[in-house]
Amino acid sequence: MSLHARVVAELSTFRLDVDVDIEDGETVAVLGPNGAGKSTLVKAIAGLRPLDEGFVRIDSIVFDDPDTGVFVAPEQRNIGVVFQDHRLFPQLDALDNVAFGLRARGMSRTEARRVARAWLDRMHLSDHAAQKLDTLSGGQAQRVALARALASEPRLLLLDEPLAALDAATRAEVRRDLRTHLTGTTASALLITHDPVDAYALADRVIVIEDGRVTQSGDLSEVTTHPQSRYVADLVGTNLVPGTIDAGVLRTSDGVSIAVPADSPDGPAFASIRPGSVALHRSEPEGSARNVWLVEVIELDVRADRIRVRLDGPIGLVAELTPPGHEALALRPGDRIWASVKASEVGISEDFSR
Amino acid sequence: MNSTVGDRRRARRTNRPPVLAVLMAGIAVAFFALPFFGLLWRVPWSEAWSLLTDPESLKALRLSVYCSLWATALAVVFGTPLAWVLARYGFPGRRIVRALCLLSLVLPPVVGGVALFAAFGRRGLLGDPLFDWFGVRLPFSTAGVVLAQTFVGMPFFVLTVEAALRGLDRRAEDAARTLGASPWYAFRRVTLPAIKPALFAGAVLAWARAFGEFGATITFAGNFPGRTRTLPLAVYLALESNPGQALVLSVFMIAISFAVIVGLRDRWLGGSSDGDPT
């Protein structure tokens, strides 16, 4: 299943005009600041909001095309949606919430409940089948919502900030469940998020939307290296290094150690290093920075206000220089230099997805 | 600190209502309660049971129950879609349509009866077509009573349900649609359960209003024993011929209305639920 869409929607303050293509089995993350039009995009693809212009097509089936007057109702699309606020039905227990879509499509109650129970099992929620919504924790509710969306085996899964309403620990757990299902199946998915960690953990590709327009798209590493806007540079253009923390040191699977803030909890985590906090030196630095690596300059992305330097070493890194700093160092691709990062400048996101 | 003590004192004072307000409120309570106690005092209790169970009373009671339940059913069947459309869809003139549908809330019932006559009466707008095509004469028939009661009762239902639908989160319906639910299925399994209390409350209010209906009924349907003479009409009639019976029937109706109001709890007490014999 592959999605091809151009979504144009006239919103009160701006116009959303975005192209989205998802190939078979691919997960694409849509990143963008609040109010960029991300949720409208989800609504339009799901059929909850008709397009003003453009088209939505899955494989060769047209779902929405104002030019030809084609509009397929949401219930006919079989596109699963997981909303930020889970939107479970309060009058039903967890099991019947998951069974809802199957019942709506005509499955008998017994059979629907049997399938729903299997989905709850897969989400490790079998003990909560008979619970009503208000007795579930936020993470449990969101996992029930995920099971509910997946139970009808949708052609495409739309995840509208599914982790945003959860606390950090729960977020990591639900992210793990998501990862299991996104990589374990051939289903395609569109993930709306404003957290680059989600994109890193779950997506094959990212699309960045700002003010209703795509400002950048591509592999995460590509976007990190060549951020096209300040927003991308600040948010997406962060170095994320997965590893396991033990006593203030994060070790990657390649055996590289990164000193992190001493109070970081032990366990799997992402170290996030802002490019601006990577200091570059021509000679081995002395001083307080505990993370010092010998690296090679791969590429320079020179902009008027900032210069991004892609580095290869024990870990791949992107550093950002100010124009004066760039002038002083006079870097060229192939140069071997020193990169340092203070432990206190390393951010930590716990990661239970592995 | 001084200010804290002052605040606390002020807080304690505001917890108790001012004397004047208590006095006025007491008068208001008395105003509502006295007529009721007057009734209880005047009722000829020794004959009460026989007056209540005499054939004429029973006939009126049966007719009242029959007509008011029909009126409630009609209010629910037509009022639910109406409330839905008013709450969910913006269309030109929606406010005027809404005002028209709720007009009978503020209309003197007699005027409602006259208006019904002008529409469905023998020489009314639809009088002849109704008779020619369906052989139906609504005025002075039991169906006419139902029509009059629906006319005055349904706005209570529509108002209650519309408010509930407006307050309802549409996002649950959206979620249902993405799960393969048709609009009808989503309405049945997601929306209806969510507005069930309002449906119930609206239906009870509409029923109570229909049950007590007098003005529109007597104007449009007349006062024929067994056919259009409902309890309120029987009370009015008995007032001249047999005041004791009027009192007993009044107390009976008050008891029923009171039970309904108490059953609805304070939060549904917004609309009046009693018919006023005007």
What per-residue confidence (pLDDT) applies to B275? 36
Residues of A within an 8 Å Cβ radius of B: 43, 46-48, 73-75, 77-81, 83, 85, 87, 89-91, 100-101, 104-105, 148-149, 152
- Chain A partners within 8 Å of B170 (Cβ): none
**Residue B273 near residue B257, CB atoms below 8 Å:** yes
Which run of H or of E encompasses A157? strand A156-160
Distance, in angstroms, between B176 CA and closest chain A CA? Answer: 7
Spell out a b/e string for B178-214, using b for 16 or more CB atoms within 10 Å of the CB, else e.
Answer: bbbbbeebbbebbbeebbeebbebbbbbbbbbbbbbb
Q: Decide if pLDDT at B6 tops 50.
A: no
Nearest chain B residue to A80, by CA:
B178
HSE of B107, CA atoms in CB hemisphere, 13 A: 22
- CB-based burial label for B220 (10 Å; 0-12, 13-18, 19+): buried
How does the average pLDDT of chain B come out, rounded?
Answer: 85
Cβ of B194 and A90 within 8 Å? yes
Per-residue pLDDT at B267 exceeds 70: no
| Interchain pair A101, B175: CB under 8 A | no
Q: Which residue of B lies nearest to A83 if distances are taken between CA atoms?
A: B175
In 3D, which of A219, A248, A345 has the Cα closest to residue A289?
A345
Distance CA B274, CA B260 (A): 10
Give me the residue from B171, B182, B194 closest to A75, CB to CB: B182
Sign of CA dihedral B93, B94, B99, B100: positive
pLDDT in 10s for each residue of chain A, 354 residues: 899 999 999 988 889 999 999 998 899 999 988 888 888 999 999 999 999 999 999 998 999 999 999 999 999 999 999 998 888 998 899 999 999 999 999 999 999 999 999 999 988 888 888 888 888 888 889 889 999 999 988 989 999 998 888 887 788 888 888 888 887 777 799 999 888 888 888 888 999 998 899 988 988 877 877 777 777 777 767 788 888 998 889 999 888 999 988 888 888 888 888 888 899 999 888 877 789 999 999 888 888 788 889 899 898 888 989 888 888 888 889 999 999 999 888 888 776 544
**Which of B171, B178, B196, B199 to mutate: most A Cβ within 10 Å?**
B178
Q: What homologous superfamily does CATH list for B48-268? A: MetI-like (1.10.3720.10)
Task: Nearest chain B residue to A45 by CA: give it.
Answer: B178
Domain boundaries, chain A: 3-236, 239-350
> C-alpha distances in angstroms, B161 versus B183, B192, B210, B261, B273?
18, 10, 17, 18, 16
pLDDT of residue B14: 60
The nearest alpha carbon in chain B to A90 belongs to B194
Q: Is the pLDDT of residue B113 over 60?
A: yes
Domain residue spans of chain B: 48-268
Task: Give the tokens for residue A157.
Answer: 């899964």
Confidence of residue B269 (pLDDT cuts 50, 70, 90): very low
Assigned CATH for A239-350: 2.40.50.100
Q: Which residue of A has its CA nearest to B195?
A: A91
Question: What does the alpha-carbon distance between residue B119 and residue A71 come to, in Å, rounded to a whole number?
Answer: 42
Q: Per the CB < 8 Å rule, is A89 touching B185?
A: no
Residues of B with Cβ-Cβ distance to A47 under 8 angstroms: 177-178
Cβ contacts (< 8 Å) between B193 and chain A: which residues? 89, 91
Number of Cβ pairs < 8 A linking chain A and chain B:
62
For strand A156-160 and strand A188-193, is the pairing parallel, antiparallel, or unpaired? Answer: parallel
Best of A48, A56, A79, A92 to substitute, by most chain B Cβ atoms within 10 angstroms, is: A48
The CATH class, in words, for A3-236 is alpha beta
Give me the residue from B171, B181, B182 closest to A87, CB to CB.
B171
**C-beta atoms of A78 and B194 within 8 A:** no
Q: Which residues pair with A293 in a beta bridge?
A: A339
Lowest mean pLDDT among A101-110, B26-35, B44-53, B199-208: B44-53
- Counting every residue, how long is chain B? 278
| Minimum distance, in Å, between the CA of residue B184 and any CA atom of chain A | 10
Closest A-chain CA to B183 = A75
Q: Is the pLDDT reported for residue B5 higher than 70?
A: no
Nearest beta carbon to residue B178 from set A81, A89, A91? A81
pLDDT given for residue A48 in this prediction: 92
Residue in chain A nearest B185 by alpha carbon: A104
pLDDT of residue B2 exceeding 50? no
8 A C-beta contact, residue B171 and residue A83: yes
Q: How far is B72 from chain A (nearest CA, A)?
A: 26
Choose among B178, B182, B194: nearest Cβ to A79.
B178
CA distance to partner chain A, nearest, from residue B163 (Å): 20
Q: Measured between CB atoms, which of B177, B181, B182 is closest to A48?
A: B177
Buried b (16+ CB within 10 A) or exposed e, B29-59: eeeeeeeeeeeeeebeeeebeebeeeebbeb
